[in-house]
Every structure is written in structure tokens, then in C-alpha cells.
Amino acid sequence: MRKFNLALFIAVLIVGVSARVIPTSAAPGLGDDPGRDLAEVSAIFSVTSAAPGKTYDAVAVVDIVPGWHINSARPTQDYLIAAMLAFDTLPGLTPHNIGYPAGKNVSLAGESMSVYDGRTIVRFAVTIDDSLAPGEYTLPLRFTYQACNDRECRAPQTPEIGLKITVGEEGDPVSSAIFGAAAAATPDEAPAESPAADSDLQRLIDEYGAWGYVLALGLAFITGLLLSFSPCTYPMVPITVSIFAGQDRSVGRG
């Protein structure tokens, strides 16, 4: 019994010493405090006071903790949680034209991912109804994000923030460092880029006029002819011959 108690005492002593020597933050996968907010989100309106009947710029500013990133608005994998700005309705204030910035491509766990890090600015517009009475308003916003680092990903978060808008006479611009810079965001409804083939065709037309169409058709014909000699067409030769031969039962025709 004494030997058992002594062994138990030694085991407890070793565990206690190990807990003191090894910091909690060094444990794999734990990282920072799990309850810590890894992205601080705020909203800024472009003027001190807005006149009814006009449209103004606004932004959601996302400051991400160093060493962490969040998935961009267009992640490269379908299973990832995309960054998304959403609005609650408020009579007289109409938010629209959200423009997310381009993500930064990084390689994590052998996969290419599109992420935001540091300070990220999401732009949008707010239209003030011409019948909205002067006063102070707060437009409710929600920003959904999932924070990750090179070891772990946290559960998605959706902090709620408010965009304060004063309606009255036309006010002065604010935050020129943000609103004065050229917008790097791309609206969600932006048209897709034209395919390369359309660009090549347009170049031929611009350079040769009507002959550009003839050149394009000639190139398409030659390309199709060359493709007909590719190895993948060889197995179809006996099948095609047998079909045409089977249409006429005469030996000579076959």
C-alpha cells in the first residue's frame, strides 16, 4: 500500500511540474484565447450629414488580428465560410451595391485559398429617401466571417454593428483617407470579363474589317480539320464505315 501511495504521489508531482513548465499557448491547436474576437468591425458614413433624396458612400472596416486571416467573399473552396456583409431594413434608408475587395491568394495545407488579412474595407452605398425626416438614424449591419491561422480555424462569427447617419442639410466629407482613395472593390453585380476568344475576334475585325470574319471562319475550319486527325477520332473510323456500309446491302456498294 505504501508503494502504491508513493507511486501515485510521484505521478501527481510529475504532472504538476509539466503543467508549470509547458505554457498553455504552446499546446498544438490552441493558439490565442478561444473567446477572443479576431476581427473588429466598424462602419463609417462618408459625410457628417446627408441630404434627403441623395446617395452616399459608406464602408465597413474590418481590422483582423495579426497572424490571422478570414476567408474572402469568394473563397476557392465551397465548404469555406465566405465573408459577407448584410443589412437589416430601416424605412427611408436603402443600402445597396456592396463591393468586396479582391482576396489575397495564399497556400495553406497544400491548398490555394483566397483570404483577407490586416485591414479590409467593404464598400457600399446608401440612398436617403427624399421623404425621410431630419434626425439621427442607425442602420443595422451584420458581418459574417470565419477566422483561421496556419494551425486552426475558429467557428464563424457574425458581429452586429450600426452605421450612424445624420439626415438634414448636406454635411462635410469625412475619412478622406478611405473615401478619397480609388475604390478597389468590385460590385457583386459587375459584368463578367469577356472571353479571350471574343477579344481575338474583335482584334481581327478591328484590324482587317469585314475580312476579319473571313479570317476567323478560315481559322476555325483549319482548326477543326486538324482536330479530325487527332488520335481520339481513330476508333470512330470503323464505326462510321460500318454505318454507311450497312445502309446498302449490295457487296459492291459496301
* C-alpha distances out from residue 159 to 110, 141, 145, 205, Å: 31, 9, 9, 53
Banded pLDDT at 37 (limits 50, 70, 90): confident
d(CA 216, CA 218): 5
pTM: 0.58
- pLDDT confidence of residue 108: 76
d(CA 166, CA 137): 6
- pLDDT confidence of residue 28: 37
Tell the residue number behind the cell numbers 462618408, with chain if given: 46
d(CA 5, CA 1): 6
Question: How many CA atoms lie within 13 Å of 164's alpha carbon, on the beta-carbon side?
Answer: 4
- pLDDT confidence of residue 44: 96
Tell the residue number behind the cell numbers 501515485, with chain if given: 8
Backbone φ and ψ of 136, nearest 5°: -100, 130
> pLDDT tens digits for 210-225?
666 677 777 777 877 7
Q: Partners of 139 in the beta sheet?
A: 163
- Secondary structure element (H or E) that encloses residue 4, with its range: helix 2-21
Instruction: Tell me 82's DSSP state.
Output: P
- pLDDT confidence of residue 91: 92
Instruction: Tell me 71's DSSP state.
Output: E
